[in-house]
Amino acid sequence: MVLLEVKDLQVRVEEREILHGLTLTVNEGEIHAIMGPNGSGKSTLSHVIAGKPGYEVTGGQILFKGDDLLEMKPEERAAKGVFLAFQYPVEIPGVTTMNFLRTALNAQRKARGETELMVPDFLKKVREVSKSLNIPQDMLKRGVNVGFSGGEKKRNEVLQMALFEPSLCILDEMDSGLDIDALRIAADGVNALHSPKRAMVVITHYQRLLNYIVPDIVHVMSKGRVVKSGGKELALELEASGYAQFEDAA
Amino acid sequence: MPAVQETVDRVKRIDVDQYRYGFETLIESDKAPKGLSEDTVKFISAKKNEPAWMLQWRLEAYRRWLTMTEPTWARVDYPKIDFQDLYYYSAPKPKKTINSLDEIDPEILKTYEKLGIPLREVAMLEGVEPKPGEQDPNRRKIAVDAVFDSVSVATTFQAELKKAGVIFMPISEAIREHPELVQKYLGSVVPTSDNFYATLNSAVFSDGSFVYVPPGVRCPMELSTYFRINERNTGQFERTLIIADKGSYVSYLEGCTAPQRDENQLHAAVVELVTHDDAEIKYSTVQNWYPGNSEGKGGIYNFVTKRGDCRGNNSKISWTQVETGSAITWKYPSCILRGDNSRGEFYSIAISNGHQQVDSGTKMIHLGKNTSSRIISKGIAAGKSQNTYRGLVTAHRKATGARNFTACDSLLIGDKCGAHTVPYIEAKNSSATFEHEATTSKISEDVLFYCIQRGLSQEEAVGLVVNGFVKDVLQQLPMEFAVEAQKLISISLEGSVG
Ligand SMILES: Nc1ncnc2c1ncn2[C@@H]1O[C@H](COP(=O)(O)OP(=O)(O)OP(=O)(O)O)[C@@H](O)[C@H]1O
Ligand SMILES: [Mg+2]
């Protein structure tokens, strides 16, 4: 089943076109990797899918579970199952992680017409997931990402992903700033979430991450387009020869 | 349970364009003639059956006031007030003497009900048991001295307070029943000549609360007052006097909302606090006067003088305020740290939205040895509002070992508003340690988007971020007020983004 369909997407930021007709199809259960040089538009794509303001879609379409995603508010997209693990997670002082998780989870549930999760069930779930991600309980009492190390911030993203159970997870450079151990823990967390109904789009610069999260399909982005797609061996090829060969194709 | 969620839920239920508390109660009122003269002062004093000394005190203040001019140093801008175009006294006509809530005008009770504030108090007053699981049965009791317009309508829990020896009554009654206490303390913290508005208040104050806690007594309940302005063009001049005698403790809560108005309404209250040796007063305010409509018309002018005198050694006064309303706020709850080792605290959340103008802060006057003070101020400006923190910290020559810590944080929402910090610091002796920290930040688009990506709406995201920003201060409020305050904060920021 098709989960996400990006068709000929054109996007402008401040009068400048960044994505020039990007097409991408993601089916349920698939893991996609998107690679590409700095500035090729990877984060832009993830932001537009999530609905971040400031981007002007001048052409094309995004369908999610058959619905026109671009017609939905960003919070509606979240409630419908779009999750973006940010390249740079922000800090929210004074709002404990625990409170944030609960507020967000209940907002999503409400939007879907579900009841709020009972506190004991919620706590149990948070405890389980945070344990598997090696997140100490007292971190959850601190302000969201406040004083967290780079690795902790990324793990916090995976924690939220596990808790909200989205159907599409976009991970923007989850591996940046992680040491080998942290990378493995985070990747294990992501793998644990892999299911036949859930798809992952993993944005990365390094083939190393793909040793842990093994993609079904690898896309190469260059200058605002997907210029090549292939199996996981494409990532190895890139690692060996770089992006130069695709520059012309773009 | 995280109260933030509650806030978020509340905000959802709110009708954005409507100031919820904007309605009038149709009650016949008993007004003084318009304008201010010696006759007005005499009228008020006579209405209150005041003794001669009180009238004399008022008249002296009035004569003094005639020689004074309005202060202009605050960063607020408003058309000149015509003091002859206001009413200075208005009271609901008493139908009979009131012994219990049942006898209060149902219109008045309905007003309180609409405010949504006093339901728990009403229930308590009527001896209603909380439904199982619905409320915390261990919650502290609150005694309400409901001030409706200018007259206290109901005073409750008198018996229990009396048993403890605590005097809690309308100041108009205290003037008649405890003249020795009132004469001793009234104007001893804020002298009649203190400032334009305080002097005006001294001349025409209508009513307010009086509290006396005898030596060694810990007041058995939170004391609470709700103020309402309800009469068109009525100046509201509350006068509150709280005395904590040696080794005593009292926590006083004050909160208010006001109905929608076309004309601006003047509110000039005076609050005086006195603590003797080893005594403590905690004074909390949640202020939500009508801020004016979307074009900046109407709204309350709030010119308040609040001052506490830590007269005794080891005494403590703590002000906590959540200011969300008023067209104009001019307010500096202050502490005079006279006793050795005395301590003053000021915790403030001041929110301005629309066309509101807030100039608020505190003064910590260190006179005694080893006195300490702490100031935590959180200013939030949205819309086209201006939000100024103005603070003064001084150490007298003899105030050796004086210590102050000040942290002023401002948060801007949008780019048409302004936040300003104006600290004045004077240390007249070298052993004083004053620390001052100030930050100004904008609510970040990235932070909002992060929250929204996790499922919150724009308004919920703002509410969450702002409640995080003010958390340190909210924690200072008694539980009874913290949730209300959170609710107010979110309500008052409605429509501030997007
Ligand atoms: N808000 C913005 N204003 C102006 N230009 C922008 C903005 N956001 C992105 N761009 C530009 O769009 C292009 C694509 O940026 P994007 O962040 O999507 O690249 P990326 O592939 O994620 O790069 P990296 O690998 O470095 O993360 C860049 O040239 C960038 O400068
Ligand atoms: Mg990027």
Residue carrying the six token digits 């960044």: A18
The DSSP call for residue A137 is G
The more confident residue out of B105 and B454 is: B454
Q: Please check whether residue B125 is in contact with residue B153, taking contact to mean a CB–CB distance below 8 angstroms.
A: no
- Testing ligand 1's pocket by substitution, the residue of A20, A22, A34, A40 carrying the most ligand atoms inside 8 A of its CB is A40
Cα of A154 from ligand 2 centre, angstroms: 15
What gap in Å lies between CA B421 and CA B412, rounded to an integer? 13
d(CA B208, CA B211) in angstroms, rounded, equals: 10
Does the pLDDT at position B356 exceed 50?
yes
Average predicted confidence (pLDDT) for chain B: 79
pLDDT of residue A23: 94
Number of the ligand closest to the Cα of A36: 1
Give the span between the Cα atoms of B457 and A79, in whole angstroms: 11
- Long-range contacts made by residues B108-113, C-beta under 8 angstroms, separation at least 24? B108/B25, B108/B27, B108/B148, B108/B153, B110/B25, B111/B23, B111/B25, B111/B148, B111/B228, B111/B230, B112/B146, B112/B226
Cβ–Cβ below 8 Å for A90 and B447: yes
Q: Which residue of B has its CA nearest to A116?
A: B5
Q: A151-156: which pairs have CB atoms within 8 A and are 24 or more residues apart?
A: A151/A177, A151/A178, A151/A179, A151/A182, A151/A186, A153/A89, A154/A85, A154/A89, A154/A178, A154/A182, A154/A186, A155/A182, A155/A185, A155/A186, A155/A189, A156/A89, A156/A97
pLDDT at B121 over 50: no
The pLDDT tens digits for B298-349 are 788 888 999 999 999 999 999 999 888 778 888 999 999 999 999 999 999 9
Nearest CA in chain A to B2: A99
Residue A25 corresponds to which tokens in the numbers above? Answer: 């199809």
pLDDT of residue B23: 46
Q: Bridge partners of B91?
A: B30
CA of A41 to the centre of ligand 2 (A): 7
* Cβ B104 vs Cβ B153: under 8 Å: yes
Query: What residue has token string 């997407």?
Result: A9
Q: What distance in angstroms lies between residue A202's CA and the mean position of ligand 1's atoms?
A: 17
**Residue B104: count of CB within 10 angstroms of its CB:** 18
Asked whether the beta carbons of residue A107 and residue B454 sit closer than 8 angstroms, the reply is yes
B235/B232 Cα distance (integer angstroms):
9
First vs last Cα of chain A: how many Å apart? Answer: 29
Q: Which residues contact B432 (CB under 8 A, 6 or more apart)?
A: B366, B395, B399, B400, B401, B402, B403, B404
Q: List for chain B the helix, strand, coil content (%; round to 5).
A: 25, 35, 40
State the average pLDDT over residues B180-209. Answer: 92
- Closest-CA residue of chain A to B450: A90
Cα gap B3→B13, rounded to integer Å: 16
Better-scored residue on pLDDT, B439 or B256: B439
CA of A86: which chain B residue's CA is closest? B450
CB B324 within 8 A of CB B355: no
Residue nearest to atom 9 of ligand 1 (CA): A44
Contacts of B395 by beta carbon, 8 Å cutoff, 6+ apart = B366, B402, B404, B426, B427, B428, B429, B432, B434
Rounded to the nearest angstrom, the distance between the alpha carbon of B115 and the centre of ligand 2 is 50
Put simply, the answer to whether A95 touches B465 (Cβ < 8 Å) is yes
Q: Using an 8 Å CB-CB cutoff, list chain B residues near A172.
A: none
CB nearest A74 (choices: B1, B452, B472) = B452
What pTM was computed for the model?
0.79
Using CA atoms, how far apart are residues B493 and A92, in angstroms rounded to an integer?
Answer: 18
Contact B210, B274 (CB under 8 A): no
Residue list, ligand 1 pocket, CB within 6 Å: A 13-14, 18, 36, 38-44, 54
pLDDT at B138 over 80: no
Summarised one tens digit per residue, pLDDT across range B211-246 is 999 999 999 878 875 544 444 444 578 899 999 999
Mutating which of A103, A110, A161 best tests the B interface, going by the most B Cβ atoms within 10 A?
A103
Q: Which of B223, B337, B353 is nearest to B274 (CA)?
A: B337
Please tell me the distance from the alpha carbon of residue A154 to that of residue A171, in angstroms, as a whole number: 10
Cα dihedral B186, B190, B192, B198 sign = negative
Residue of A52, A75, A84 with shortest CB distance to B456: A75
| Predicted confidence pLDDT, tens digits, chain A (250 residues) | 899 999 999 999 998 999 999 999 999 999 999 999 999 999 999 999 999 999 999 999 999 999 999 999 999 999 999 999 998 899 999 999 998 999 999 999 999 999 888 888 888 989 988 888 888 888 888 999 998 888 888 889 999 999 999 999 999 998 888 888 888 888 888 898 899 999 999 999 888 888 899 999 999 999 999 998 999 888 888 888 887 777 655 4
CB contact under 8 A, B455 and A52: no
Grade residue B383 by pLDDT with cuts at 50, 70 and 90: confident
Instruction: Report helix angle A119-132 to A180-193, nearest 10.
Output: 130
Q: Chains A, B: CB contacts under 8 A, how many?
A: 91
Q: How far apart are CA B288 and CA B486, in angstroms?
A: 12
Of B2, B455, B456, the CB nearest to A99: B2
pLDDT for residue B29:
55
Nearest ligand 1 atom to the CA of A221 is 21
Q: Check residue B100 and give its pLDDT.
A: 53
Closest Cα in chain A, distance from residue B455 (Å)? 4
Give the pLDDT band (50/70/90) at residue B11.
very low
pLDDT of residue B84: 83
How far is Cα B290 from Cα B227, in angstroms, rounded to an integer? Answer: 12
**B136 has pLDDT over 60:** no
* pLDDT grade for B153, boundaries at 50, 70 and 90: very low
Whether the predicted pLDDT of B173 surpasses 60: yes
For residues B81 and B235, give the distance between their C-alpha atoms in angstroms, rounded to a whole number: 11
